[in-house]
Structure 1
């Protein structure tokens, strides 16, 4: 039977204050680190951060082996005693998180594994503590290591790895001995004038606009490969899509904190997904139909197989000719004009926005930010329910923190 060890922690600078969590998973036999997680939580309490670290560790362990026996080690006496059933959970936020953690434990038990909780002194939890400080510094870390050379050892050291930054953080290069300066805290910028980057100019190190792109959950059209553009049947989420929307809501809540706004396209599947996210954040979602999927005219409701077989040349034109449009539909140029008009307003508003929408409009945004030509942006994957992080500074510089993240699904 596989044995895994989860080490988890969370912290808050102010309690409540700037919060983040960290967690890692070790091979129970060798001590080798198999996965690391960290993320910011916005303004939260220390206990909420600790529970969030526990959940991240259990989720990471589930991705490695759902049937393994897991020992969770934490220096939070409160979390260990509550999860062991010896102390009651009274606070509403903690009750919700404890329930989420218990569901993960039940899923492991149903798969043949087990979970037990062990309290350890803080001095023995330094690796998770470091990751939780990374989260409080605004870093989002999602790393998995394969067995073999270059994997981590039980002394807590780690190989070189890419760090996913949460939207809102300036570029960070991490070295084993590097000191990191904490990001400046401040109110979201509003009414910003966004300009193109000036070659040779000093970079803007202020607070960027943060945007989390969330593609809607599955519909029956998505599963069957049917086209469902603007002006079509406007399908809603199927049962799996509803579950994806809730998983997105939980992930977004942990990632962006409580101060983000939620903006959706006008199509039903995006509005449903956005409603779940807005409920998790305690805000009202706003609709903007400029972020609707591309209008496909007479191709709406047809499968990609039908289109490829009957209209192969026209399908190639749709992918390569920005002026091509189907009867009753719209061209890429028309789509780009309306999407970027909405995007500029989102960026100018400052702060953090969760934008819930569709693949093609999001490809337009990413192509604009990264300078990718129309005939090549199709290479970007954006699965249903995926998360993509973008940040834009007032000087026009931009960064894509992560693309097509689906680990929460």
Structure 2
């Protein structure tokens, strides 16, 4: 197995967290993801804690395997490899925990640059944001908890067990760490039992995104499609296609993009918890999509990769016009374009044209990111095409799918085409408005 680890501290020492991803060697398939908020700690403590937890996760899967630990901390790699002396007592204790977690004779350590360690880094940042924990196995149901210091975190879709119902706010510790009240002491004392109950409840709870059907052709990529926020043209009901880079987001659109970024940051943490935390961000080259993608990427600590295949439909001579203006110049053609596969605006693209390039783009994403989650900042027609392609809807029906600004749509796509050459995928979420959840 390969164990990817990363830790971070915002302030060093500051609010700290760790992330660890266990993969199957050779295929890269994700087997487990562990992450946790550490409170106030140093970066080195967080890095070592990531190794400890990553090895513990690997031991739960197969204690007889050989393990390569990959980390972007030179200190951890050199010290755990025995080439550098561990001088700090706290780090020595964590190193001993790591050796106890997995047979050291079966473990070796490799340094990797930060850009090759994005999955573990994303997990660490997610829990530093949420102050929570992630325990996710891709062979077993998910158990993910969000915690508030001094309280037991209650997952969104699980009723609180009896042991944690009641005056939860009384459980907040005072400055010296003691519970504020006797009732609070009872809640804190019951945390271990409550956590076990929450794990069991979360494990048995229905998953919001659903379990994909087993299919041939490897693991699917999960694609979180984010429609860009509004622009001045969106606000005035004007067509804005892929013929030109602009316009930029309006003030309202920037606020929408920020809300969408908040919701994307929760994917795999406390909403849609059965999919991996996003580890890549792709965006259409249009300015509005780039700005939306950048907002998401900042929240995840990831770069944005542009892909022309996800640019908005080219509307040709209709670009910048309202529907009444188009209808005045080209009577009946807007409806024909929206409800048939092969009608093109003058100088523009048909729905079939858009679908062909979106299909190529999604298949490339599925091949490159098997078993992972990718965020794609794109446009109405592009997202409708993605929904239509994986849902096997005829292009003439795609326009019936409503995709609000800054909404999230989630699909899974397998890398291998079906016997007809079409995409193999399934729909998870369609057009979830970010302001309802974020």
Residue 244 (structure 1) aligned to one of 229, 243, 256: 256
SS of the aligned residue for 2:377 comes to strand
Change (3 A) 1:332 1:47: closer
Q: What is aligned with 2:359?
A: 340
Deviation at 1:346, TM superposition (A): 0.7
Which runs of structure 2 are paired with 1:31-50 in the superposition (5 Å)?
A: 42=123, 44=127, 47-49=131-133, 50=146
2:249–2:288 Cα contact (<8 Å) kept: yes
Aligned length: 282
Q: What is aligned with 2:313?
A: 294
* CA RMSD, 1 decimal: 4.3
Change (3 A) 1:76 1:319: farther
CA distance in 2, matches of 1:122, 1:305: 66
1:233–1:301 Cα contact (<8 Å) kept: no
2:240 is the counterpart of 1:228 = yes
Deviation at 1:315, TM superposition (A): 0.9
Deviation at 1:333, TM superposition (A): 2.2
Deviation at 1:128, TM superposition (A): 8.7
Deviation at 1:319, TM superposition (A): 1.3
Deviation at 1:340, TM superposition (A): 1.4
2:363–2:414 Cα contact (<8 Å) kept: no
Higher helix share: 2
Gaps spanning 5+ residues in structure 2: where? Answer: 1-16, 22-31, 38-121, 134-145, 158-164, 178-182, 270-276, 418-423
Which runs of structure 2 are paired with 1:5-404 in the superposition (5 Å)?
A: 18=34, 42=123, 44=127, 47-49=131-133, 50-51=146-147, 74=168, 80-81=172-173, 86=175, 120-121=187-188, 123=190, 163-165=207-209, 169-170=211-212, 203-204=215-216, 207-232=219-244, 234-256=246-268, 260-349=279-368, 350=370, 351-393=372-414, 397-404=424-431
TM-superposition CA deviations, 1:219-249 (whole Å, max 9, x none): 1211111110111462111111111111111
| TM-score normalised over the length of structure 2 | 0.54
SS of the aligned residue for 1:290 comes to helix
Q: What is aligned with 1:28?
A: none
TM-superposition CA deviations, 1:245-291 (whole Å, max 9, x none): 11111211121466510000000000001001111111110101110
- More divergent stretch after superposition (383-392 vs 317-326): 317-326
Deviation at 1:304, TM superposition (A): 2.2
| TM-score normalised over the length of structure 1 | 0.57
Deviation at 1:337, TM superposition (A): 1.9
Deviation at 1:133, TM superposition (A): 6.1
- More divergent stretch after superposition (351-360 vs 326-335): 326-335
CA distance in 1, matches of 2:237, 2:307: 26
Q: What is aligned with 2:143?
A: none
Q: What is aligned with 1:152?
A: none
SS of the aligned residue for 2:295 comes to helix
Change (3 A) 1:404 1:369: same
1:322–1:332 Cα contact (<8 Å) kept: yes
SS of the aligned residue for 1:390 comes to strand
Q: What is aligned with 2:91?
A: none
CA distance in 2, matches of 1:280, 1:42: 12
Deviation at 1:317, TM superposition (A): 1.4
CA distance in 2, matches of 1:354, 1:343: 12
Change (3 A) 1:14 1:268: closer
Deviation at 1:300, TM superposition (A): 0.9
Change (3 A) 1:296 1:401: same
Answer with 1 or 2: which has the greater Rg: 2
Deviation at 1:402, TM superposition (A): 1.2
Gaps spanning 5+ residues in structure 1: where? Answer: 1-10, 22-40, 61-70, 89-116, 142-161, 172-201
Q: What is aligned with 2:108?
A: none
Larger RCO, structures 1/2 (Cα 8 Å, 6+ apart): 1
CA distance in 2, matches of 1:206, 1:73: 48
1:20–1:133 Cα contact (<8 Å) kept: no
1:293–1:360 Cα contact (<8 Å) kept: yes
CA distance in 2, matches of 1:282, 1:203: 32
Change (3 A) 1:356 1:295: same
